[in-house]
Structure 1
Amino acid sequence: MASCSNPACPTKEAAATLSCPNCIKLNMAPCFFCGQDCFKAAWGEHKKLHKLGKALEAARIAKANAAPPPVEPTALPDWARHYSFSGALRPAQQSPTRIVPSRIPRPDYADHPDGASLSEQRDKSSDRAIKVYSGEELERVRHACKMGREVLDEGGKACRVGATCDEIDRVVHEAAVERDCYPSPLNYYNFPKSVCTSVNEVICHGIPDFYEIQDGDIVNIDVTTFVGGCHGDLNETFMCGNVDADGQKLVRTAFDCLAVALAECRPGTLYRDLGNKITKRATKSNCSVVKTYCGHGIGNLFHTSPNVPHYAKNKAKGVMKKGHVFTVEPMINLGSYEDFTWGDNWTAVTMDGKRSAQFEHTVVVTDNGIEILTARDDEPVMLWDAAKNSRQ
């Protein structure tokens, strides 16, 4: 039992059960009195505590409603100071790496100091048979892809003239966390952000920074989400503001290259044959196909077999079978297919500085075709609509 809070209480050791209501309203530690007489006698001094309590409560509310402190960017990397860039784009300062709450399950590389995926390394050392998904396991892949779709849609809303790539990363990160997903790129072999943003001549793996999107830019947003032990992977290229005719042609061509490839996917199709269809469509628009990067198996692992090259006459192994889950993600350039990587060891750019565009879906092979697991709910097949990928 509490003792009476009146210093002059004649029965100081008596049980005190009468609490001060104002202390409770102000979220202060409760004060108890043995009765109304002691409460009235102590009121002159006791009410001074309420003044202090009001000040503390006001400070607490102000702190809760205050805007978060500004993000302090990291300095430009040393490698960029005397670097020979192929195009106009330059790296900008970056915000600190964002944190994923500990309650969210994470892939094995998330907390590895080198970002290494030991499960992928074990997979590469095995016979790498293409995994067949079915039943509950396929449902978990389907859910990861659905979450990825929702997260990319949120990131796409943030992609507009005047916005920064860092803002897109923030939106994608928060959208993933809200859905109890881990953003798969984060710390994957030490990639520092939660999404890839690839602007203009960047082919893929662009690191989000404080670059401000300009009128006429094209921006690829590549999202992967990990939830339920599975990854879902997709990307789209957005046209920001007034994109010129060549840029519009490029983005439409990249979309069509993915569409013609997916139209060929069914049991019995050779994985190597997709590159022929993609190259034919790209060549029709006087564009080229990047050879360095390819589609891949996905599910329990971020990257696994099969490899899915996008260029003609490739040597990929494997035949599509029901239950195979993989990505197709052709990277299409306005100029040469050749690429190189910036000094950050991630950002892949065109050798000639011309623009590149890309679209990606994760699919599962069915009895007589595929299901696009990362499709919009109202878009089970790929149909070009420029408005969906245009931003102001």
Structure 2
Amino acid sequence: MADILQRCEFMCLGMKCCLTLALLWAVEGKTARPATVSPGAKDFGGGSPDLPGHGKPMQEVGTSKPVEVLSTLPDWATFYQNYMRANRPVVFKNAARTQRAFEKWSDDYLIGRWGKRRVVDIEIKKVEERGGPTVQWPFEKFAREIYKEERKDELYAVIGLEDDEVLADVDFPEPARCEEVWPQSVTLWMSNGGTMSVLHNDDGENFLMLLDGYKSVMLVHQDDAPKIYADVAKVRGTSPVRQDSVDLVAFPRFANISWLHGELEPGDTLFIPHTYWHQVNSRGRNLGVNIWWSHKEDWQWWDLKTYDAPRFGMDSMPPFNEFKAKAATNATCTPLPADRHMGETQLVDEGRTKEIIRKKRARHAKGKRQTAQRPQGGEL
């Protein structure tokens, strides 16, 4: 009904007319199309406001269990086998405290580095909307404004750090400090807390290092994409379900969601596997640095011709764990020099990564065809 009322308001119709339209929709058994659902999509609706969790924040719906937490960092082989290849999120307790940024990145330090010179992209709404209103401000203005009472529901900066001098304060996280690992990007997420991201996934492995503040993270397995209605989202790679108020009339399957819950404190690092869905709420002054990355052997499992993140969990797709199990049994890791920081590391962005993977898979397929065509045994 809220969606209908918004449309009526936009069309300048009276309240009486709006209520009449809403009643007609209810009588006909239809569900108004939420703004987050793509035009023409039909796989939504049919739910009830009586379903448990209707109208509640996303992280209060369904059933959850805690994500695994490690107080000691594993070596590369253990991390690769037990978490990366096995598609298992994990929190490394206090691992980010070794980052120079953890101690250095106060507001004054960052203002001293960027001041009015660095203009940053700022999302106006702390409850994220993909494609929502944004502004560009000098960093100094942003860092002053976020603490004002009248801004408590506003301002969230997403700052790309590629080629920035502050990357000298950041090291690629253990346990994946390998020459064979390709970082794609480095991003700083900064606010005064109260942010709520959309439920989304990323085409890359992900380390999220929390330098200040607290984050509550919802982690949803790739095969649960049908329960989060990923295939009908207007913005690919997101769920159309609102993170602050779940509509179980429009999205009833979400009531049955099962997920992993992670609580991050200052200095914690979260590993989010490739394509794993996640939604993040923050509290307090918040500084999070995330690095998306891949391994040079990812071409062995990442078949871009069949990969379709919103469709995992459907009959037409294999289980994601089976999909990823085609990764190399033992991926190599040549340790990085101890003093190499992210400012000295060449980034391989997502587009270039996918281009390399396509070429490697094509060469491998060609080699297999040629081998199959060779005569087997006997004299020529």
TM above 0.5, yes or no, is no
Structure whose CA Rg is larger = 1
TM-score normalised over the length of structure 1: 0.22
TM-score normalised over the length of structure 2: 0.23
